[in-house]
């Protein structure tokens, strides 16, 4: 059924509005990237300088650059303003596509293709990019539309060029074609597709060769002024692109024109195959029906010339001269691809039949579909549902790809804005920035507002050799305390990064979106405190490196700066794998304030008995409270996560107050909040974030991180009277504790307004808490205040375990109280075998009973002693393998606590003693029993 003109207009206006909304949504959310950097650069040049570059360096026609040059004079060069220029033409391409589809077939083909064009991720991507590709698409569609509309006159269906509207379509064709080739040189493939179509259908179109050639001559004549100036560059230009295989051009294009370039191939493949299958169905359908005045073979020839021939042409040109294939360079052929996809959907819909009759199409049938009912009014179109489902499937795929485009950082443009904001937020005097690649300096000039020197010695085209570059790099590193390095991905990056890893002090690196940034301490950072060590990190097989010495800074390191370390390693035997070193900064309670596990140790390549120098540094976060910390070194297997031996702790690491004030958003504060309720005058602290555990067990100590910001200068005398009150309530029981502010965040007189300090608190809880959750609240008060309003933060889940109070049947009852004031009792144990053999497990069950609520988490030890009192086997664990810490016990509660002790294979036969007890893991102090001993002797054992 044909839609009325008014309905068609309404639909296309709706699609055009939807296209605008999809292309305007989050238009400025992503940073400019390298491609757009060139647009920024060119549009800020004087006219004469821009003209010179277009003639000598930039192998693209002039239209886009001259148009945007005047555009930014009107609206500015912000991301939104400059990209809006592309958006306008990206939206324009939708009604133009409708016109092209309608000219080829009917209103259904035009509307379906326009719908697919509206939601096409690749079209939306380039409509949100400050480049010429959306304009290139719109101009090419305009050219193709004019070509199709004037074709009947050219091929002689009517008297050539005498149609009332011929000159209208001729003008549209000339303007669209001229516009396209002035926007991008690859517009030649659009003209080539048109010519190939005329050749493939020469029997019907040979009369149009001469008028079409005359039209092209006029287009070339209008283009000639630019050819005179720009042809010299084209003749000598060699593209940087790699040359793909012909098959790769088709597979890469298929992905780009369906779900976009950035979806991982494994994820994209099934989605792309759905589109390709419908495309192939559309080709088959195109060849087997009549499209108005168009015969099926003609439509097939048009689609093949429009969608496949451009790939062959660009691939062949790359083989003969220089590579020129890039998905975006052939973006107009996506329109042809979507035309065929729309025909595939119509192929399903037009296979209609009634529930009463079915007749196949014959040559005598004048209906436009292969399978149509013989009646003029079919009772039921049974193919409407599958055609609709197919369309919904394609739209869902597009919707999924668009969601990734809008919200998944992995699909985003290279985030230069985030890189530069990171540097601006954390830069210190004496830092430097190093750029590599081609164009990055232009984005730095646009975004960067800091004062650090930016070294541009490693940029294309005057890029130095590796040897020269390393000499330049060494001079830069020698002059600066820290180096910010953002690798572009050029060949020079690996040797530069290798040199920095060996001669500087790597501190941090991260992917910010699709862009990488690294921080190094330079040679000016001094590691002058030497710690002579002989610490071996060994796994269960006896493999691992030995740390011989460690050098670090002897003075204070300010929060926000880096702590350089020089480590000397050695190994006695070849190591089987590359191990990882974790650097951790701990407070006196063992809380980790910062951690770095980069770079990895290349231990598998270390030669035995030779010292290995390893330089690295630890970046201290600017929200680190000043004070004294400890540096913990942990070596582990990155594959299994197994730690090698015991951690090494270097004490007395002094940290000075931060000298910088990064913006809050740069600190990545979790659960970010801003509440005036947390302001205490006149010192004006504000709570801006927090971290809570997901759940706690009642009685288990709860840790809590709070992020405090100073809003105005602190009180004289250090503000020692200010107190943080934390409370935990389940609705019936409320637990509270006070913490002096200065003890948790460090001296207040060194705290600058605007700075954030991160404090950790340990709130004792009680096993008497009940229910599924408890509310955590915070209050900030002065010492003189009787109280303050508590502000609820969040709820924490309570992991309440099942409890037992009735004593079970115990094989060997006991009654041994632990603690000077009894806190718990051992009421018995069970051991099935008293005669054992080496290399066999010993299964023991202990029965405990709580006497009072405990504030200390005790660890149980079970030891097997020989006749000399030496420990030959041992197991240490918290009750129920950590599931029931002693602080979670209620008075009278009974725990059945199993242990397995593995006897050594070389254990000699004889008599042994089995003992058990508890100790404080933090201090190592054992819990005494009533007899005065610090353990309970369970029973003698015999090993055979």
Instruction: Give the angle subtended at the CA of 515 by the CAs of 506 and 247, to the nearest 5°.
Output: 125
d(CA 147, CA 149): 6
For residue range 289-311, list pLDDT tens digits in order: 888 778 889 999 999 999 999 99
Can you say whether the dihedral through the CA atoms of 929, 933, 939, 944 is positive or negative?
Answer: positive
Report phi then psi at 560, rounded to 5.
95, -15
d(CA 603, CA 898): 40
The pLDDT value given to residue 344:
97
The pLDDT value given to residue 372:
42
The residue among 588 and 541 whose pLDDT is bigger is 588
Confidence of residue 773 (pLDDT cuts 50, 70, 90): very high
In angstroms, the Cα distances linking 305 to 134, 201, 308, 312, 313 are 21, 11, 6, 10, 11
Contacts of 46 (CB under 8 A, 6+ apart): none
Looking at the chain, the whole-number percentage of residues with pLDDT higher than 70 is: 93
Can you say whether the dihedral through the CA atoms of 708, 712, 718, 721 is positive or negative?
Answer: negative
Confidence of residue 369 (pLDDT cuts 50, 70, 90): very low
416: left (phi over 0), alpha (psi -120 to 50) or beta: alpha
For residue range 166-193, list pLDDT tens digits in order: 889 999 999 999 999 999 999 999 999 9
pLDDT exceeds cutoff 80 at 357? no
For residue range 56-110, list pLDDT tens digits in order: 989 999 999 999 999 999 999 999 999 999 999 999 999 999 999 999 999 999 9
Examine residue 682 and say whether the peptide bond preceding it is cis (omega within 30 degrees of 0). yes
d(CA 246, CA 5): 43
The pLDDT value given to residue 636:
95
Q: Which residues are registered as beta bridge partners of 509?
A: 518
For residue range 552-583, list pLDDT tens digits in order: 988 999 999 999 999 999 999 999 999 999 99
For residue range 850-905, list pLDDT tens digits in order: 999 999 999 999 999 999 999 999 999 999 999 999 999 999 999 999 999 988 88
Confidence of residue 675 (pLDDT cuts 50, 70, 90): low
Q: How much is the CA Rg of the chain, to the nearest whole Å?
A: 38
Instruction: Give the angle subtended at the CA of 239 by the CAs of 233 and 241, to the nearest 5°.
Output: 160
* Section 151-174 average pLDDT: 74
Looking at the chain, the whole-number percentage of residues with pLDDT higher than 90 is: 76
HSE at residue 660, side-chain half, CA atoms within 13 A, is 22
* Section 832-856 average pLDDT: 90
d(CA 513, CA 356): 59
For residue range 198-218, list pLDDT tens digits in order: 999 988 888 889 999 999 999
Confidence of residue 712 (pLDDT cuts 50, 70, 90): confident
The pLDDT value given to residue 1:
59
The length of the chain is 944
The residue among 815 and 3 whose pLDDT is bigger is 815
Report phi then psi at 247, rounded to 5.
-65, -40
- Contact criterion met (CB below 8 Å) for 145 and 103: yes
pLDDT exceeds cutoff 50 at 362? no
Give alpha helix (H) positions in 684-777: 741-745
Strand order across the beta sheet in which 812-818 lies: 812-818, 824-831, 841-850, 894-902
Confidence of residue 354 (pLDDT cuts 50, 70, 90): very low
The pLDDT value given to residue 177:
98
- Contact criterion met (CB below 8 Å) for 166 and 71: no
Q: In whole numbers, what is the pLDDT of the chain averaged over residues? A: 90
- Contact criterion met (CB below 8 Å) for 558 and 546: no
pLDDT exceeds cutoff 80 at 223? yes
The pLDDT value given to residue 157:
44
The pLDDT value given to residue 669:
93
d(CA 422, CA 439): 19
d(CA 933, CA 869): 15
Strand order across the beta sheet in which 734-740 lies: 695-696, 791-798, 773-781, 723-729, 734-740
- Contact criterion met (CB below 8 Å) for 483 and 519: yes
Query: Distance between terminal CA atoms of the chain?
Result: 95
d(CA 106, CA 397): 26
The pLDDT value given to residue 683:
55
For residue range 101-113, list pLDDT tens digits in order: 999 999 999 999 9
For residue range 389-415, list pLDDT tens digits in order: 999 999 999 999 999 999 998 899 999
The pLDDT value given to residue 531:
87
Pick from 919, 897, 789, 801: which is nearest to 844 by CA? 897
State the pairing for strand pair 592-596/580-586: antiparallel
């Amino acid at each position: 059924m044909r839609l009325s003109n008014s309905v068609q207009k309404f639909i296309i206006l709706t699609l055009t509005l939807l296209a605008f909304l999809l292309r305007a949504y989050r238009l400025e959310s992503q940073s400019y990237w390298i491609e757009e950097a060139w647009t920024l650069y060119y549009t800020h040049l004087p006219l004469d300088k821009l003209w010179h570059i277009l003639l000598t360096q930039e192998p693209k026609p002039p239209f886009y650059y001259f148009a945007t040059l005047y555009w930014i004079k009107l609206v500015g060069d912000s991301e939104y303003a400059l990209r809006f220029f592309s958006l306008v033409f990206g939206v324009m391409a939708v009604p133009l596509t409708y016109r092209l589809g309608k000219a080829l077939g009917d209103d259904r083909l035009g509307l379906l293709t326009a719908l697919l064009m509206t939601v096409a991720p690749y079209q939306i991507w380039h409509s949100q990019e400050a480049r010429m590709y959306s304009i290139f698409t719109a101009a090419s569609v305009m050219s193709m539309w004019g070509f199709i509309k004037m074709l009947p006159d050219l091929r002689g269906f009517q008297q050539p060029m005498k149609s009332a509207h011929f000159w209208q379509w001729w003008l549209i064709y000339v303007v669209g074609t001229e516009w396209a080739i002035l926007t991008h040189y690859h517009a030649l493939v659009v003209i080539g597709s048109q010519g190939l179509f005329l050749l493939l259908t020469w029997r019907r179109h040979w009369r149009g060769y001469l008028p079409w050639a005359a039209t092209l001559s006029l287009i070339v004549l209008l283009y000639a002024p630019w050819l005179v100036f720009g042809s010299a560059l084209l003749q000598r230009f060699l593209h940087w692109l790699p040359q793909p295989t012909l098959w790769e051009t088709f597979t890469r294009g298929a992905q780009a024109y369906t779900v976009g370039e950035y979806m991982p191939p494994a994820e994209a493949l099934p989605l792309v195959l759905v589109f390709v299958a419908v495309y192939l169905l559309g080709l088959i359908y195109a060849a087997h029906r009549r499209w108005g005045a168009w015969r099926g073979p003609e439509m097939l020839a048009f689609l093949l010339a429009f969608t496949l021939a451009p790939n062959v042409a660009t691939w062949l040109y790359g083989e003969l001269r220089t590579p020129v294939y890039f998905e975006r360079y052939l973006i107009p052929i996506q329109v042809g691809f979507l035309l065929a996809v729309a025909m595939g959907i119509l192929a399903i819909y037009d296979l209609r039949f009634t529930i009463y009759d079915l007749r196949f199409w014959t040559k005598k049938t004048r209906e436009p579909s292969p399978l149509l009912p013989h009646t003029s009014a079919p009772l039921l179109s049974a193919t409407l549902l599958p055609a609709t489902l197919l369309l919904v499937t394609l739209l869902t795929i597009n919707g999924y790809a668009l969601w990734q485009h809008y919200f998944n950082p992995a699909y985003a443009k290279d985030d230069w804005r985030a890189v530069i904001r990171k540097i601006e937020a954390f830069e210190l005097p004496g830092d430097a920035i190093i750029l590599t690649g081609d164009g990055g300096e232009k984005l730095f000039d646009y975004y960067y507002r800091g004062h650090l020197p930016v070294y541009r010695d490693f940029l294309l085209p005057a890029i130095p050799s590796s040897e020269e570059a390393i000499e330049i790099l060494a001079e830069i590193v020698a002059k600066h305390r820290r180096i910010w390095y953002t690798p572009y991905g050029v060949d020079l990056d690996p040797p530069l990064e290798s040199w920095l890893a060996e001669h500087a002090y790597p501190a941090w690196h991260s992917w910010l979106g699709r862009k990488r940034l690294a921080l190094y301490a330079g040679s000016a950072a001094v590691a002058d405190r030497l710690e002579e060590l002989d610490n071996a990190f060994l796994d269960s097989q006896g493999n691992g490196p030995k740390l011989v010495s460690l050098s670090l800074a002897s003075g204070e390191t300010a929060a926000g700066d880096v702590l350089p370390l020089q480590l000397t390693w050695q190994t006695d035997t070849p190591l089987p794998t590359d191990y990882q070193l974790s650097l951790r900064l701990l407070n006196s309670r063992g809380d980790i304030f910062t951690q770095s596990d980069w770079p990895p140790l290349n231990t598998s390549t270390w030669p035995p008995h030779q010292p290995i120098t390893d330089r690295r540094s630890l970046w201290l976060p600017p929200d680190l409270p000043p004070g004294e910390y400890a540096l913990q070194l942990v070596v582990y297997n990155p594959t299994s996560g197994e730690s090698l031996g015991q951690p090494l702790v270097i004490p007395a690491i002094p940290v000075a107050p931060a000298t910088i004030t990064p913006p809050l958003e740069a600190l990545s504060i979790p659960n970010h909040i801003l509440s005036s309720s947390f302001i205490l005058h006149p010192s004006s602290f504000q709570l801006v974030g927090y971290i809570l555990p997901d759940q706690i067990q009642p009685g288990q100590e709860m840790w809590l991180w709070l992020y405090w910001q100073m809003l105005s200068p602190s009180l004289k005398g250090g503000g020692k009277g200010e107190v943080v009150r934390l409370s935990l309530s389940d609705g019936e029981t409320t637990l509270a504790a006070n913490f002096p502010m200065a003890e948790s965040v460090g001296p207040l007189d060194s705290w600058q307004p605007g700075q954030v300090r991160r404090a950790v608190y340990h709130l004792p809880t009680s096993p008497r808490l009940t229910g599924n959750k408890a509310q955590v609240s915070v209050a900030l008060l002065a010492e003189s205040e009787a109280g303050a309003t508590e502000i609820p933060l969040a709820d924490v889940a309570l992991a309440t375990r099942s409890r037992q109070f009735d004593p079970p049947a115990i094989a060997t009852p006991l009654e041994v109280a632990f603690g000077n004031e009894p806190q718990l009792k051992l009421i018995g144990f069970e051991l099935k075998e008293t005669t054992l053999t080496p290399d066999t497990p010993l299964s023991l069950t202990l029965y405990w009973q709580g006497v009072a609520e405990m504030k200390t988490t005790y660890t149980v030890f079970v030891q097997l002693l020989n006749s000399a009192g030496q420990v030959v086997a041992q197991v240490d664990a918290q009750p129920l393998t950590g599931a029931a810490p002693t602080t979670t016990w209620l008075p009278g509660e009974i725990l059945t606590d199993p242990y397995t002790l593995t006897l050594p294979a070389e254990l000699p036969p004889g008599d042994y003693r089995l003992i058990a007890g508890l100790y404080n893991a933090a201090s190592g102090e054992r819990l005494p029993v009533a007899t005065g001993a610090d353990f309970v002797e369970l029973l003698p054992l015999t090993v055979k």
